[in-house]
Structure formats: C-alpha cells, structure tokens
Structure 1
C-alpha cells in the first residue's frame, strides 16, 4: 500500500492466542520487523550496505546538492519535542558520546532507515534516509558558540532552561552544506525535554522536512530507551 492509498475502514483486535510477551499486534509486528532489519544489517555488514546502496546514495546526495545550490544559503526548519522520564539529559548525552565513538550497532538499531553511523577522518558520518532519499553526510562544528547561524537561530531556547545545546552543519564529503541541526536538552523534575530542530535548504520539498521530524521522534525515542537500559 502506498502513502497515497487510503486505508480500508476495518478494525482487527487480538482476543486470544499468543502466550507471553504481551502487547498488541502492532507490537508483535514491530518486534519482527526490527529483528529482520538487524539480520540483514548483520549479514551484509557495513561495507556490504554501502556497496548495495551506492547508486541510491549518489542520487540522494545529488538531490541534496541541487537543493543547496538553488536555495543559495537559505534554510527552513522544524522541531520535534520529546519528553523523557526516568533519565537525566547528562546520562543520555554521555551514552550518545560513547555510542558515536564505539560500536555503531546501538545507533543503527534506533531506526530501520539507519544504514551507517560512526566517526571517520572527516567527522561523524551518517548514511540514512532524508525523506525518500538515501544520503551519506557528515555532522561537524558542534556547539552553539562556534556556528554563527546557531547563535541567532529563532529556535534557540533560554540557557537557564536548556543548558545542554548542540548544533551542527550537515555536509557532504565535498563540503556542501545540505542541512543543519540544533538539539537542546533541559532537565525536568523526573527526566528531561529534548527540543530537536532540523533545517533543510528552502527548495527541498516540505515532505523531506516533515519526514525527518518523524525520523527524529523514532530515533531519539529509541536512543533514550537504550541509554536508560545501559544505566542498569
């Protein structure tokens, strides 16, 4: 079924059958989907995935490069806000720092459209979907005190409430800046708030931005859950 097709009006409920595990049919499907994705990632390996996706990555990078060219330095942004309970922002960010310099498996597991994540000589490399396109890009220049656009961003929140801030350019291997990220964290009485902003060139279709806001929700939720599990 494509995104443009309407879902038939029908409801199906689980009344009896599976023993143990709990959850809904959607929960069962998610478990099996994650297991299948992990199997293929493991069998193919990092280089195997890159080889398999090489043509699509070339097309995706060309799309983003063209959007950057026609936007002439102008960006549009959107924000996803998540509330977490049971974990402090410092604990989460410490887990993230360790994950990006170690085994990429927990980073990949957070989203089915994560293909490669890790740090090389250029920076923190990410191969993932940007909207319907697969792209290979880098993140770098973290810190709101090092990037002029971050200092003046309309989405910048008060330091007193969101003291943990990180910003980055998203750039291709040739240096073309194809996006920006501004992520801000503020602790609450029982957890923390994540304010996750992403920017893309203004000529990118709106669906690219919308899908990445959904992407943020999925990956950060799963990273937060993984970070909490690692505290035990």
Structure 2
C-alpha cells in the first residue's frame, strides 16, 4: 500500500444477540441517559452547581465579554422541527406544566442541561457552545421585549399564532442572548420555528451548536409530551 492510499473505514454490524430492531447506537444512548440521570440525582442541584462553579464563572465571563464587544448587536439562527401526531396546543400545555414544577422533565431533554429552575426564577445552567453558563430568561428593564415585534425572523400570526420571546441575561443584568420560538399547526401536527440570537462577535460554532441544542431538547420534550398523553 502506498502512502497516498487510505484504509477503508472500519464498520461493526450487530448480527445477533439482543432482541428487537434497535441499533447499537440506541443501546448506547439508553445507557448514557441512565448513567447521566443517576449522577444528576445523586449530586442534586446544589451539588452540580458546586461541581461546575469554575466552569460557570469562565462561561459567563465569555458571554459577558462577547455581549460587551457586540455592543447590543446579535446574530440569529433558526432550527425548524416538523411534528406529526401531536398538536402545538397539546405540546405547549405539557411545556407549561413542566416549567411550572417538573425540573426533572426539563433536565432529561438534553445531556447538557444542569439546572432548569421551576420556582419562577427562570435560571438555566447549560452549555452555550463549549461553555457552561448560568443565565436567566425573561425581560430586563422597560420594554425589554420590544425587539421581538421587529425581529426579521417573526412569522405571520395567521400561520404561527403561538409565540414566545425572551431575553437571556446574566445575574448582573447583562443581556447575552435572545430567544424567539413560534409554533403553528399543520394538517397532521405542528411546526416549531426555534430562533436563537447570540452576540454578533461570538464564533460561528457557538450559534451552530445551539441550533443543534434546540433540535435535541425540543425533540425530546415533544416526545415526552406525546408519551404523557397515553
């Protein structure tokens, strides 16, 4: 074999053993989720915060510096999910109930959810790109949410009547991001249009990874909402 030749990729196929039609990737995902749930439960909220304190300090410093360098300007990205077999109303009713008191359901939607308070403080500790950050969701100051009415990503009310917008801000009030989520029913389900706004000076991978984050967490929340109907 000459130097400019490459070896074929190694593949592994499950031929027999476990019953059912699921793949090795499915098995691994099940066990990873089970292990993660065990650590979250054993550590508890405060244990996780203590464990991640240094990471949070570093992550929040990154967001604060990015927000200041961007001087109030943001760049947007949108993840679009199509759901069949569930209406947006049923999903949003489940979401409202979860955010009112079921932190475990909120945490379970993504491996990098560490804290999602349901006591009214709207504190979220999760990854923003590679950075672990602690931020709050909601308004900040007078007319803080006015930006949403003029957002380029705002969709027609007739097609997407369910809309929620929020600032993302640190404990000191620094606005480090925004979120605009919009839902519209279709003939067999609904469409979720999920937009995140990050400081304009953030590297491109920060936005890209949050679009992936949206896809994972909302897919899992939608599945959980559907399972709760049964």
**TM-score surpassing 0.5?**
yes
* CA-CA distance at 1:147 after TM superposition: 1.7
Separation in structure 2 between the aligned mates of residue 192 and residue 61 of structure 1, nearest angstrom:
35
1:179–1:199 contact (8 Å) kept in structure 2: yes
* CA-CA distance at 1:146 after TM superposition: 6.7
Q: Runs of 5+ in structure 1 lacking a partner?
A: 1-7
2:164–2:180 contact (8 Å) kept in structure 1: yes
1:93-172 mapped onto 2 (5 Å cutoff): 93-120=92-119, 123-141=121-139, 147-172=145-170
* CA-CA distance at 1:149 after TM superposition: 1.2
Q: Which has the larger radius of gyration?
A: 2
User: What is the aligned counterpart of 2:190 among 161, 182, 192?
Assistant: 192
Separation in structure 1 between the aligned mates of residue 119 and residue 219 of structure 2, nearest angstrom:
26
TM-score (norm 1): 0.92
Deviations 1:81-118 (A, max 9, x none): 00011111011111111111112001000000000001
Separation in structure 1 between the aligned mates of residue 197 and residue 10 of structure 2, nearest angstrom:
38
Q: Runs of 5+ in structure 2 lacking a partner?
A: 1-7
1:3 alignment counterpart = none
* CA-CA distance at 1:43 after TM superposition: 0.6
- Are 1:173 and 2:171 matched, yes or no? yes
TM-score (norm 2): 0.93
* CA-CA distance at 1:120 after TM superposition: 4.2
Q: RMSD across aligned C-alpha pairs, in angstroms?
A: 1.5
Separation in structure 2 between the aligned mates of residue 65 and residue 146 of structure 1, nearest angstrom:
18
1:60 alignment counterpart = 59
Separation in structure 1 between the aligned mates of residue 144 and residue 40 of structure 2, nearest angstrom:
36
Separation in structure 2 between the aligned mates of residue 229 and residue 119 of structure 1, nearest angstrom:
21
Separation in structure 2 between the aligned mates of residue 197 and residue 224 of structure 1, nearest angstrom:
17
2:101–2:119 contact (8 Å) kept in structure 1: no
* CA-CA distance at 1:119 after TM superposition: 3.4
